[in-house]
Structure formats: structure tokens, C-alpha cells
Amino acid sequence: MSSENFNDEYWMQLAYVQAALAAAQGEIPVGAILVSNGQVIGAGYNAPIKLSDPTAHAEIQALRAACLSLNNYRLPEDTTLYVTLEPCTMCVGALIHARVQRVVFATTEPKAGSLVSARQLLDSGYYNHKFVFEQGCLQAQCSLQLSEFFKQRRNEKKKIRSSKTSLND
């Protein structure tokens, strides 16, 4: 398949796979892919627990991989980030500094999303670089992945609480 046949859904599916890697390690399932000239230049998944690093969000991991491979903190002009969850304030700042041109995210993040949800950072007028963004690509699939992860986590916590209660009886 030639790179001309790859569309947003194709690249977001790769980000979804990255998110599954995070979930398999007990991390919140967020995945990111950076694409330039029809090629993946960086990939990452959420790993703050595994790496003991609060900045190890999927977007940051993908940016680090791309910048290291290109030996430049600024990314090519045609770079698009595909991420399964709306970026937070920290990640939006990093995307601005790296000069990402376009961001496609699957689902919103009501508490920390910084493009359309909790904040609209690009509307602030503070930044000398802005990127275009689109939302909703594979939204149902990525939202379900997050919901199922948190449902499983809640069920595990209930089991722990009920086993502690049983021991105290």
C-alpha cells in the first residue's frame, strides 16, 4: 500500500495500538503517532507509572522519539500528530515548541483537555505558533478503550475493598 492511500483513520488506528500497549502495562490507554511525509517519525504511549516520570504522556513520548531520530527539536513542516485523547496543557505546549502543524485527536478529555474541553490554549493569543486540529477520528473506538480500562480498574478496586472487608469480619 502506498503512503498516498493512508488516511487519518489508518494513522489513528496505529495510535490506538500504542494505547493498547499502555493499557497492557496498567497505564491509562493513550497512544500517539507522529507522521511526516507519509511516514511514522515517532510513536509513543502513556507511561508515567512505568517510567516514574509525570511527563511521560503519549504525545511527549512520540515527540521525544521523533526529535531524537531527526536530531532536531523542531519537526518537519508537514508533521501531524495522531493521538487517542485530547492533549493536556503540557502536551499542547510541547507540540507548539516542536512546531507540529496538525493534531488529530479521537476523543475529548473534559477535565484536562486543552484544545476544546477544559481550556482552549490556541485561542489565548500567547503563542507565536499555532497548529490546526481536528477531533473525532475513531472517537467511538478510542472512547470505548478508555471506558473499558477505567471500568476494569474500578472493578479491581471493588474486589480489593471487598476482600479487605471479608478479612475484617
Sign of CA dihedral 49, 8, 63, 69: positive
Distance separating alpha carbons of residues 154 and 118, to the nearest angstrom: 24
Q: Which residue has the higher pLDDT, 129 or 118?
A: 129
Measured torsion, CA atoms of residues 84, 104, 61, 148, in degrees rounded to the nearest 10: 0
- Domain coverage including residue 113: 3-168
Whether 90 shows a pLDDT value over 70: the answer reads yes
Q: Name the residues annotated as catalytic.
A: 59
Give the number of C-alpha atoms closer than 13 A to the C-alpha of residue 75, restricted to the C-beta side: 29
Nearest to 116 by CA among 93, 133, 138, 140: 133
C-alpha pair distances (Å), 97 with each of 49, 63, 67, 100, 139: 25, 10, 12, 8, 27
pLDDT in tens, 45-67: 999 999 999 999 999 999 999 99
Residues tagged in the binding site annotation for Zn(2+): 57, 88, 91
Instruction: Quote the pLDDT of residue 1.
Output: 44
Report the pLDDT value the prediction gives residue 158, as an integer from 0 to 100: 79
Residue 167 has pLDDT above 70, yes or no: no
Lowest mean pLDDT among 109-118, 130-139, 143-152: 109-118
pLDDT of residue 168: 63
pLDDT at residue 2, as a whole number: 44
Beta strands 132-135 and 102-107, pairing class: parallel
pLDDT above 70 for 134 = yes
pLDDT at 100 over 70: yes
State the residue for C-alpha cell 500497549: 21
Strand positions, DSSP E, the chain: 31-36, 39-45, 80-85, 102-107, 132-135
Domain total for the chain? 1
Lowest mean per-residue pLDDT among 28-42, 73-87, 122-136: 122-136
pLDDT for the residue 63: 99
Helix, strand, coil content of the chain in percent (nearest 5): 45, 15, 35
What is the domain-level CATH number for residue 31?
3.40.140.10
Q: Which residues are annotated as a binding site?
A: 57, 88, 91
What pLDDT is recorded for position 129? 82
